[in-house]
Each structure stands twice: as structure tokens, then as C-alpha cells.
Structure 1
Amino acid sequence: MVLLLVVDLDPDLMALRPLGGFFVLRTLGSPAEASPPALPTLAQVYENRPPDVYGNTMTFRVRKVAGALHAPEPRIAASIAHLGLAARLWSVALGCAVLYGHIPDLSPHRLHWDPDASAPDDLWLDTVQPLPGDAATITEVVLHGHLEPLAARLHAEYRLATGLLWGNASSALAGAARQLGHRGTGARELAAELLAHPLLAGTLDSTTLRRRSCCLYYRLPGGGVCGDCCFTRAPRSSPRGASG
């Protein structure tokens, strides 16, 4: 059981802002923010029913990432796009849990996403409705509410292995916890509870937190390997089986 400080969520989630871009979550209608143009909700993205402006929103995002990184294959860009969105979702949830003791309701129909933004992903919440900041709630909201349908879409459309996708999710979670580590043990203990979930368990080495799969970043021009990659150096070839 993780004991966290309990402070009321403020309507602009201002406590997240000093943590940096991956943790910031802006709210629609906030007097502190200029509201963006109409953006699809993540529910629309997962269900492939976006507004006309982007057509297939996920395809639009993957193409944008591919162009920015000169990705030689769409599936590489899809993995990097998935990793970035997973990192944003975990960071907001863990940041709120540690700083407030609650999380806002981050349900997919409440979160709006700008697929044309640069990294980190631009997310907007319709309104702040508090939920408990415990592992069970975060699992339900982030893991089941977002990462399961997101993984299903990317697996179906880009042939990304499920092991790779859950490795991305676990890596993003561990990274968010590391960023919050200076604020005490709460983030690490909460992340450990979350990583014990059957969808994530075993995706990272329990001692080193090194991945057992690869996000494919090494296959970008000049990519190299990430700090937690299953490879210690970039393979010379591009073996699909080894990529997770």
C-alpha cells in the first residue's frame, strides 16, 4: 500500500507544471489557457471515429512522427508514437497521484489530443473530476482505459508485436517514476504495484528495469539504443523477430 499526500486537485493542475512537458495537463475552458481548436478525444482515436479534419487520426500521427524522425518503416514510427503517448498518460497519472493524492478522471472521452503537435504529446482535459490516486484506479483508467485499446489498434494496423507494445508501456511507466523519484518513494512504490499487473509483469527485468523487448528506435537513422533497451548495442541488421 502506497501512502500519498492528499491535496485537492486544482482546476488547472498547476502543481504539475514545474515537472516539465511530459507531466503538464491543460484543461479546456481554463482562464489560464487559450482553448485549442476542436481536437479529437482519445476515445474517438481508439475507435477510429475522429472528426473530418484529421481523417484517420492515428495514421496522421504516425505519419507525422515518421516524417520528423525519417523513419524507414511506418511500424517504427508507430512504436515511437505509442511510447510517447504512453509516457504522457503515465506521467500525468503518477504526477497527480504523488503531488495531490488523487488523479483527475482521465477517461478517453475526457482527454483531447492534438495529433499534429510536436513531442511531448499535447493533451487537454475537459474538466477536472477527482478519482483516488491508488494503483487500482490508475490501472483501470490508464492501463485498461487507454493502453489496451491503443495497443489493439497499433497491433492490428501496424503489426506491432504485443510484447513490444507492453514493453513500451512498462518502459514509459518506469521512466515517469524515475522523473518523480526526487519527491520520495511514493512514485517508485506506485510504479512497482502497477508493473505487477499481468499485462506488464515480466516486460522489464525486475532488478535493472531493462526491457525484454525493443521499441525499434535503433532502426531510425542514427538511432542507437535506449538506456533500458534489451540490446546493449544496436544490431547490425534489422531482425523483426528480435524487435519484440
Structure 2
Amino acid sequence: MRTVRPAVGDPDPARTGQSTTLAKAYKKLTSDVYRDPLTFRVDTVSRRLGATEPRVAASVAHQALAARLWSVALGCAVRCGRLPDLDPGLLLWDPGATAPDDLRLTEVRPLPGGTGPAALADTVVRVVVDGHLVPLGAALRDRYGLAAGLLGGNAAAALAGAARELDRWARANDCADVAARTRTLADTLFAHPLLSATGTRAGLAFRRRSCCLYYRVPGGGVCGDCCFTQPPCSSPRAASG
């Protein structure tokens, strides 16, 4: 799962002129888009998708970053039994780049802690939820008014997607132990208060109770895990939570 790799120098500054850590990106947003990496990222996503509503691009950007973080944490946890330190201050972020080149670890150092299922789940929660999703969500709510339900649904959908991809890899490579650990870890993580009320699950299948707003992108539709079965014809503020 090639998602975050150790840094080999900073991302190319000629591409965006941006190079920062996620820790700085999560701080209070400023009014200067060129000095604010999170706003820069949302505007970049907006341009690429042709989205006219900033909150739509903010939602898409949020879910994409959540998926990247979940995938690294889950992959390391179930395959290695340990996690690298993904502290926001160690992760360099180029908000104008595309995956997998937008995130780089400045150094790789394993986190201490137990390797049992409960201990690993606690570490993943501390690293991903507390370290990233909480401050990222707060920043996006402050600037774009994204509802807590939408952000929670995004986080849950990203987790479910990462778990399904890891489970698919494990089965394709005859790693039944990895598949079993993936399901156990996903079950434990979905019991977290941020995620437990976000949707319904059947194994690794997930249907959320909120909408990520992708249907409002030109040419977009509803996602496979959406609460809607077809794009709603309603007011611009519909499905925001």
C-alpha cells in the first residue's frame, strides 16, 4: 500500500510553492490562500473538479486525506503489528500535489506500545483520530461550515474503504491472517464515538447516514456507500450533515 513514504528532501517547491507540515495546516486558517495550505488544497480540488461550492471541495479534500491516513495506519498495524509515528509535525504536505507524492514522512520511527488487537486499536485512534481527524475537522468546520455528521461520515467511509482494500489485498495474496486482523481492527475502530453512529455495516460493507456532497460536482453522482440512492433534487444546503 504505497501511500506515505519517507522523505527524500522536500516536495518540489517549483510545483506549488507550498511545503508545510500537517501540524501547521491544522492551525487556525488565515485569509491568505497562498499562505494557508488547507485553503490552497480546497481551492485546488475545486478547480480540478469544477466544483463551484467551496464546501463540496472541502468535503472531498477531507475524505481523501482521511483515506490516506487510515490506509497507512491500518496497513502497518495489521501487517507489521506496529505503527510509525505519524505525528502531524512529522508529515510534510504538498497541498498542490497528487497521491502518493503529497505526503512524506520526515523520518520513520516506530511508536512504542503493545501489539495486541486492543493496544493496536488504541494506537490507531490516538494517531489518526486524535492526531489528525479531530484538528482537521475543526479547521474545516471553522472555514467551510461542514457539518459534524458529514465529517464523521467521511471519516467512516474512508476507514471502510481502506479496510476493504487491505482485505482485498490479503485475500489475493493468501494472507488469511492479515484479512482476519483487518476485520477485527475495523470492528474495534468503528466502535469509537466519532464513527459508531455514522452508518450501518455488514462485514466490511458500509452505508453512511450522511452524504459527502460529491453529487454536487459537475457530472458527479452518488457514491456506493451514500445515504442516497440517487442525487437529490433539493436546496443547495441539502445533505450537508
Give the TM-score taking structure 1 as reference length.
Answer: 0.83
Shift of 1:24: 2.1
Shift of 1:53: 9.9
Taking only the aligned residue pairs, the percentage that are identical comes to 57
Aligned 8 A contact 2:29 2:139 in 1: no
Aligned 8 A contact 1:115 1:121 in 2: no
Aligned 8 A contact 2:23 2:89 in 1: yes
Residue deviations 1:112-151 (CA, integer Å, cap 9, x gap): 1110112457110011111246000010011000000000
1:42 to 16, 22, 45: 22
SS of 1:185's equivalent in the other structure is: helix
- Map 1:16-27 → 2, pairs under 5 A: 19=1, 23-27=2-6
Distance across 2 between alignment mates of 1:233 and 1:212:
14
Distance across 1 between alignment mates of 2:84 and 2:37:
24
Distance across 1 between alignment mates of 2:142 and 2:43:
17
Distance across 2 between alignment mates of 1:236 and 1:83:
23
Count of residues in Structure 1 that have an aligned counterpart in Structure 2: 218
Shift of 1:209: 1.5
The answer for the alignment partner of 2:98 in structure 1 is 118
- Tell me, which stretches of 5 or more residues in structure 2 are unaligned? 14-18, 171-178
- Tell me, which stretches of 5 or more residues in structure 1 are unaligned? 1-18
Q: Which amino acid in 1 is paired with 2:6?
A: T
The answer for the alignment partner of 1:223 in structure 2 is 220
SS of 1:213's equivalent in the other structure is: coil
Aligned 8 A contact 2:60 2:214 in 1: yes
SS of 1:106's equivalent in the other structure is: coil
The answer for the alignment partner of 1:6 in structure 2 is none
Q: Bigger CA drift: 117-126 or 78-87?
A: 117-126
Give the TM-score taking structure 2 as reference length.
Answer: 0.84
Distance across 2 between alignment mates of 1:155 and 1:53:
17
Q: Bigger CA drift: 139-148 or 123-132?
A: 123-132
The answer for the alignment partner of 1:10 in structure 2 is none
Q: Which amino acid in 2 is paired with 1:153?
A: A
Shift of 1:242: 2.7
Q: Which amino acid in 1 is paired with 2:237?
A: R
Aligned 8 A contact 1:181 1:187 in 2: yes
Distance across 2 between alignment mates of 1:36 and 1:206:
38
Shift of 1:226: 0.4
**1:221–1:27 distance in 2 versus 1, CA, 3 Å:** same
2:183 to 188, 212, 229: 188
Q: Which amino acid in 2 is paired with 1:26?
A: R
The answer for the alignment partner of 2:174 in structure 1 is none
Distance across 2 between alignment mates of 1:53 and 1:176:
30
SS of 1:124's equivalent in the other structure is: strand
The answer for the alignment partner of 2:143 in structure 1 is 157
SS of 1:223's equivalent in the other structure is: coil
The answer for the alignment partner of 2:192 in structure 1 is 197
Residue deviations 1:138-178 (CA, integer Å, cap 9, x gap): 10011000000000000110000010001000000000000
Q: Bigger CA drift: 152-161 or 35-44?
A: 35-44
Distance across 2 between alignment mates of 1:53 and 1:76:
17
The answer for the alignment partner of 1:206 in structure 2 is 201
1:179 to 150, 162, 165: 165
Q: Bigger CA drift: 182-191 or 228-237?
A: 182-191
Aligned 8 A contact 1:84 1:119 in 2: no
The answer for the alignment partner of 1:236 in structure 2 is 233
